[in-house]
Every structure is written in C-alpha cells, then in structure tokens.
Structure 1
Amino acid sequence: MENQVRIVSTKKLLPNQKQYLLNANFSVVEADFIGIKYKDFKINNDFEFLIFTSQNAVESILKNKKPEVLLPKRCFCVGEKTKALLEENGFVVLVCSDYAAELASIICNKYQKQNFTFFSGNLRKDILPEAMQLAQIEFEEIEVYETIYTPTEIQSKPDGILFFSPSAVESYLKTNKITDEMCFCIGQTTAETAEKFTENIVIANQPSVENVIIQCINYYSKKDYD
C-alpha cells in the first residue's frame, strides 16, 4: 500500500490484536467509546435456566453476586467469548449461538416449556425478550449493567472504523461524522445501526474482534491490487 491506511478502533485492542494492523502498515487510533457500569440486583432462584447475551452480564454476576448460588443452573448464551467466560467460572453452557436471534429461535422451538432468567444491559435489543413473550415462555429479566457512552473526538479523518457494538456506533457519532469511511462491523445488529449513516459497511464472518480486524486488512489488501 502506497499510502498508510488510517484506522480508528472504537475499543482499545489487545496488544496482539493491534499488532495485526500495525504489521499491515496501518496507523491505528484506539479509544473506548463505551463504558460499562455494573449494577446491584436481586436474583429469584425459582427460574431454571440462565441467559447471557454478553460478557458484561457475566462479569456483573461475578462481581456482584456469589456465583455458587447460580452454578447448578444451565446457561444459554450469545458469543463464544461469553461461553468461555462462563465455563472458566464453573458454569455449564447448554446452548451457545452467535446472535440473539439464533438463540431466540432455539429457545422458542426446543425449550418452550422451560423458564429462564435473562441477565441484560440497559441498551439490549428487543429480539430475545419479544420472541419469548410471543412464544409464551416464562422468564424474568434482570438488568445487571449499564452501557455508558464515552465519545472521543477523532482529530484526523480515518479511512476505516472498527465497530464492535451498536452503542459504539452511536457513541462515535456524538463527536464525529461518517462520510466516506469504510465501517467494519462485528455483526448484523451493529451493521444495522451503521447503515442508518453509511452504505460503506463490511460485516465480519464471525462475531469476534479478530475477525473484524481480518476483514479490515483483507479489504485494503484487495483494494491495493484493484
């Protein structure tokens, strides 16, 4: 690449993740555009299964409650990293899906007679609870964390932006604009938020930080040969 590609990551990357971009001769600006505030909450032990749609919900359980109270219960979750975090802390994951819509379909089709505790954040999407309500599945929802916007003004216009959640897109736009930048999104729901502001979107093949980075590198490598 003749000109160095300028990338903004809307979350601080791990050193090895950032190194992938640096090795591709990209310049990288990174900042956490969202923050997490864990909440205190009460748990009703009457419900049979647990649902987690993010690592943040798991972290909140680990910080605020004694996990051993919940360990006998089986878990349903979204994301391989959420699953890994649960299993690292002694939980058994019965079902793991890449997206909330997938998980909702599995629950509604195969576990309709069971009951669930859904640990959520304040900006969660309606997909899962609406699907369970429609299927008349008994569940309780407990809000265990809040997502807080922490926008940062980017001084130099980037070529590409890495987005890892819908709320990161919203936070970025509080202090910045998206014009002709290419947006690399971790999943469909993040892309749907970005689509309100741009058509320049690439969605990761797998919902992981690493795959977003790979898609970004591949995009500019191919562009360089066009």
Structure 2
Amino acid sequence: MPSNKRYRILSTRAVDPELVSSAAEQSVDIIPQAFIRTRPRVDDRLLQQVQQLLKEKVTVVFTSVNAVNAIQNLYFRILPADAVTEQANMPGWDVYCLEGATKEALSRTAIPHNITGTAANAAMLAQTIVRNEEKGPLVFFCGDRRRDELPDILRQRNIGLNEVIVYETTETPAVTGATYDGIFFLSPSAVQSFFSVNHLAQHTVCFSIGPTTAAALEQHTNNKIIISTGQRMADMVQTAIFYFNNIN
C-alpha cells in the first residue's frame, strides 16, 4: 500500500476503536455510521417462555449475535447472577449456531449450553441440522426480520421449528454525503437501509460479512463485492486491509 495513499471505509455498524486504530496504522480509515438499530424484546410472556425453556433439555438455534445478547439479557432478568444452585440444576441447551461472532458471543454467556453444530451461514447451518437427523421441534431465537433460508429448509424436511422473536430491527437510513473507497455491510437489513437513500460511486468496493448479505447487495449494485474471510468484524477489517494492500 503506497504510504501517501489512504483509503476511507464507511462501516454500516459500530466498530471497536482498537480495530479502527489498527486499520488507521495501515492507511485504512474506518468511519462508523449505524444504518440499523436493534432492540431486545422484554415482556412478561417472553420472559415466561424463556424461563420454561431453561428448565428443559431443548435444542436451540442462533444465527445472530443480537439474538444471543437478547437471550442473555432475559436470562439475567430471570435468574440472578449469584443463583448458583438454580444454574446447576438447569439441564442446558444443545445449540446450533453460526461460526465466528455468534459462537463467540455464546461462549461469553452464563447460559448452560453445549454446541452441537456450527456453520458459516444460515443455509449451511440448516443442512447441518438435517444431516444430524434432528427431529425437532427446535427453538429458533431470532429477530423480527429474520431470513427465510433456515426455516424453509427445515420445514421442507419436516423438522419442527418454533420461532421465538427476541429482538426487533429498525432501519436508520442516513445520507452519507461523501465518497468512500469501501463500505462494510453486515446484514441484509443494513444493505436495504443504506441503499434506500444512497448511491455508490463506481469505484467503491462493497465488503460483505457473508454470502447472504452479498446476495442482498447484488440486488442493489453492480459494484465489486468482496465477502469477508470470517464472520467477525475483525475478519472484515483484515479482509479490507488485505484487499487495499494488494490492488496496486
């Protein structure tokens, strides 16, 4: 990367300041601007439902960090952090989840669980569930704007799936008023929100967190789309740095 050339990337989601600083040292300036807002659901019916599920040996599915964080929030409302006896008596959940950030978020929770299977995206996770001959019903913790791939595949195979909406997504579009060398997209909802009020310059590269988000991008732009090497924001940042280091 030429020392006199700096690259500007807009991130449609917040970025850890340490990642921003690390990228800046390699001539990549990341400007965060959230294009969606997520809000965990908290109501009596949902609390009772999750409380009951914690008492059961169930198989659950997570395809987003937001769902994991929402369940963690409910868990601490149901069970105080010092309730050691109650935690010990929980059977624990068998969990299918996405690799990367979702799995890492689960590892940080206090919820008793065992990872049964992982995959890079929702469609592949559904195929893993099918291969493991799960009969269901499985519990799918998701948002109110979840994608159809996983539920459709499981229902085609007659695998029962109970969807529990634990967070809500709201688009927060904003006109950028600037030109960027690259843009980070981490969900189809962020893609929709961004393009509802913005257009891309021809040279702007779209960096996608995965194939599902890339497919959403293809519906809005013909610009170059590069899929991140992993599911974490750190992977996205490194993918962009590698790209800009090697385009000349």
* Same fold at TM > 0.5: yes
1:118 aligns with 2:118: no
Aligned to 1:213: 237
**Secondary structure of 1:37's aligned partner:** strand
Aligned to 2:212: 189
- Structure 1 moving runs of 4+ over 6 Å: none
C-alpha separation between the residues in 2 aligned to 1:52 and 1:194? 23
Aligned positions of 1:5-154 closer than 5 A: 5-40=7-42, 41=46, 42-43=49-50, 45=53, 48-65=58-75, 66=78, 68=87, 72-88=92-108, 89=110, 90-154=112-176
Q: Which amino acid aligns with 2:242?
A: N
- Structure 2 unaligned regions, length at least 5: 80-86
Task: Give the conservation status (yes or no) of the 8 Å contact 2:100–2:230.
Answer: no
1:152–1:73 Cα change, 3 Å: same
| CA deviation profile, 1:82-102 (whole Å, cap 9, x unmatched) | 222223224222212221111
CA RMSD after TM alignment: 2.0
How many equivalent pairs are there?
224
1:130–1:174 Cα change, 3 Å: same
C-alpha separation between the residues in 1 aligned to 2:90 and 2:28? 45
Q: Which amino acid aligns with 1:184?
A: F
Aligned positions of 1:157-172 closer than 5 A: 157-172=179-194
Q: Which amino acid aligns with 2:128?
A: I
C-alpha separation between the residues in 2 aligned to 1:50 and 1:59? 14
**Secondary structure of 1:175's aligned partner:** coil
C-alpha separation between the residues in 2 aligned to 1:71 and 1:200? 47
Task: Give the conservation status (yes or no) of the 8 Å contact 1:75–1:91.
Answer: yes
Task: Give the conservation status (yes or no) of the 8 Å contact 1:185–1:203.
Answer: yes
C-alpha separation between the residues in 1 aligned to 2:22 and 2:198? 25
Q: TM-score, normalised by structure 2?
A: 0.83
Aligned to 2:83: none
C-alpha separation between the residues in 1 aligned to 2:103 and 2:64? 9
Percent identity between matched residues is: 28
1:222 aligns with 2:239: no
> Quick check: 82-91 or 154-163, which moved more?
82-91
1:198–1:126 Cα change, 3 Å: same
Task: Give the conservation status (yes or no) of the 8 Å contact 2:171–2:189.
Answer: yes
